[in-house]
Structure 1
Amino acid sequence: MTVIVREMRSDVPADLAGFARVRRRALPFVLFTPESLAHTATRMHPGAHYRPLVAEADGEVIGTAQVLLSHDSPVPGQGNVNVYVDPAHTGRGAGALLVRTAEEHLAARGAVRLLSWVLDTPDNRAFAERRGYRGSRSAYFLRLDLAAGRLPPLQDPPPGVELRRGSDYAADPRPLFELDAETAADEPGDVASDLTDYAAWLEETWHNPLLSHDLTSVAVVDGRPAAFTLAHTDGATRYSTAMTGTAEAFRGRGLAKLAKNDSLHRARAAGVREAFTGNDTGNEPMIAVNRWFGYEVCATEVRYVRELG
């Protein structure tokens, strides 16, 4: 049975559905929909040289790869290769073909360092190490059962603090961009990020089909967004935190908890049954916050790095 690798066609529904299906089976902690995949494929910044790949056997998509350069990094040449194969179709060479195709694409566009998130299992880690990748930092996927679990009770905002929704910024989301840029700069990671391109943020973040403006919550102090949680949903029963953060001047006041609790309560009332998030394993303050909500670790991934000669 021959496996081929080719670019995902964003205008072909079967390609989008196949990519989303594989990711749901291999990585159920992250939200993907055909609509969000098409959006990313057509709206990603040109400097990312984004190329979504699929591995196909007998007309069926059995593997996927997201391949891009970190265009917003101050250090050039940082490439990303994230490969996932349907668990029912591993061992057929799809992963190896996807990695090779992805590496060739990035090397031809100036990549000098490749980074890949790998689920923390012996087979997956051995696969990466055989191809010259070395393990680096790690991160948790966490899950919250909103249907059966219990959230902390809602609290009134403290004096001087107001809770708003992302939809309140529909006419001018720039204040949320500025808050996102400040908090993203403090995120632990292997690649630094300078979030300075407002137009790109609008395309990639604000207009992402997964982003729920209504379930996004913002804690506002003196008219300024001070803390927020960006909420993604699949349009049905699954929710994911895209980002939670607090501006440096307002930290230590529990505002991120306030915003996230507000968002989770409203998500549950809207019929969401499970919520996901992710944290670097060294981000102890945010892990503690998520455990306070009732999140539990459901998987671990490891960042693997390969330097190109």
Structure 2
Amino acid sequence: MTVIVRDLHPGADADIEGFVRVRHAALPYVYFSRASVLHHLALTPAAAHYRALVAEEDGEVVGTAQVGLAHDSPEPGQGWLNVYVDPARARRGAGTLLVRAAEEHLAAHGATKLFAWVLDEPGHRAFAERHGYRASRSAHFLVLDLKHTELPPPQKPPTGVELRTAADFADDPRPLFTLDAETNSDEPGDIAIEFTDYEAWIAEYWKHPHLDRELTSVAVADGRPVAFSVAHTDGAARYGTGMTGTVRDHRGRGLAKLVKNDSLHRARAAGYTQAHTSNDSDNGPMLAVNRWFGYEIRATEVRYVRELG
């Protein structure tokens, strides 16, 4: 039985279905769909040199990798690779071949420092360390039973603040771009992010197929968005928070709780039963907010780093 690694073929249904199946088997805390896989292939900016790879054994997709450069970081030469193998087909060489192909691609495009998320389990961590990666920070996947958990009562906005949705900005989302740029720049992480390209943000984030603009809650003060909780949904039962953040000059007013509580209540009313999110382990304030809602940590990932040459 021979394992080969190649690019995912966007026109091949078996490739897309195999990619999604493997990801959900290996990483059930993150939702993928045919639309989201094709979205990343088509709309990730060219500067990222993004590739989606599959490992194939006997005509079946058994492993996946997403690979790219951190194009929205002010520090050049940073690349990332996230490799996942079907747990039922592990230890047959697929992971090693995917890592090798990913590293070669990134090195060819000038990457000198590579980052990879690895599940915090002995086998996964040992695999990363055998390939020359060292452990860095960690992040948690959290889940809330939205159907049976009693949410905090809906909150009244403080004086001078009103609640709106992302759908209210459909004609001109630039104010949300400005909000996203500031809040993301303060997120803890190994790779600093700067959103400076509005059109790239529109393509990659505003047009993401899972973005639910109606359930994305926005706090507006002095005529501008100052906090938001970004909602991604599967159109059925699963609701996820992509980002919750507040601009610096409005922090300490409880606006993160306000917008997230508003979004969660409306998501439950719309029939969503599972709420997912993730937090960097060093993001104490947001972890405290999520514990207040009743989220529980279900798994942890560790960021691994490798310097090239």
Q: Which bracket does the TM-score occupy, shorter chain normalised?
A: over 0.9
Paired position in structure 1 for 2:280: 280
State the SS of the aligned residue for 2:74: coil
Q: 1:208 matched to which residue of 2?
A: 208
Question: Cα RMSD (Å) of the superposition?
Answer: 0.8
Paired residues of 1:151 and 1:265 also in contact (CA < 8 A): yes
Q: How do 1:1-309 and structure 2 match up within 5 A?
A: 1-309=1-309
Equivalent position amino acid for 1:301 in 2: E
Asked if the contact 1:51–1:66 (Cα under 8 Å) also holds between the matched residues in 2, the reply is: yes
CA distance in 2, matches of 1:55, 1:178: 39
Aligned residues: 309
Q: Is the 8 A contact 1:10 1:42 kept in 2?
A: no
Deviations 1:12-52 (A, max 9, x none): 22211211111111111111111011011010000000000
Does the 8 Å CA contact 1:41/1:51 hold for their aligned counterparts?
yes
- Larger CA deviation: 7-16 vs 79-88: 7-16
Structure 2 spans left out of the alignment, 5+ residues: none
Deviations 1:206-234 (A, max 9, x none): 00001111110001112110100111112
Q: Which amino acid aligns with 2:307?
A: E
Letter of the structure 2 residue corresponding to residue 173 of structure 1: P
- Equivalent-residue separation in structure 2 for 1:239 and 1:11 (angstroms): 28
8 Å contact 1:11–1:38 — kept in the other structure? no
Q: For 1:85-130, what per-residue CA distance to the aligned partner results, in whole angstroms no more than 9, with x for missing partners?
A: 1111111111111000000000011000000000000000000000
Give structure 1 regions of 4+ aligned residues with deviation exceeding 6 angstroms: none
The percentage of aligned residue pairs carrying the same residue is: 66
Measured in 2, the distance between the counterparts of 1:132 and 1:66 equals 19
Distance 1:236 1:37 in 2: 18
Deviates more, 1:15-24 or 1:119-128: 15-24
Q: Is the 8 A contact 1:68 1:81 kept in 2?
A: yes
Range that drifts further, 32-41 or 5-14: 5-14
Amino acid corresponding to residue 28 of structure 1 in structure 2: P
Q: Residues 232 and 241 of structure 1 are in contact (CA less than 8 Å); yes or no, is this contact kept in structure 2?
A: yes
Secondary structure of the residue aligned to 1:9 is coil
For 2:6 and 2:263, how far apart are their aligned partners in 1? 39
Query: Unpaired segments of 5 or more residues in structure 1?
Result: none
Helix, strand or coil: the match of 1:79?
strand
CA contact (8 A) 1:52 1:66 kept: yes
Counterpart residue type for residue 212 of structure 1: D
Q: State the alpha-carbon separation in 2 of the partners of residues 207 and 276 from structure 1.
A: 20
Separation in structure 2 between the aligned mates of residue 248 and residue 295 of structure 1, nearest angstrom:
25
Q: Letter of the aligned partner of 2:269 in structure 1?
A: A
Alpha-carbon distance between aligned partners in 2 of 1:117 and 1:57, rounded to the nearest angstrom: 24
Alpha-carbon distance, 1:60 to partner: 1.4
How far, CA to CA, are the matches of 1:83 and 1:236 in structure 2? 27
SS at match of 1:126: helix
SS of alignment partner, residue 128 of structure 1: helix
Distance apart, 1:187 and its partner CA: 0.5
Shift of 1:162: 0.6
Q: TM-score, normalised by structure 2?
A: 0.99
Query: How far did 1:4 drift?
Result: 1.0
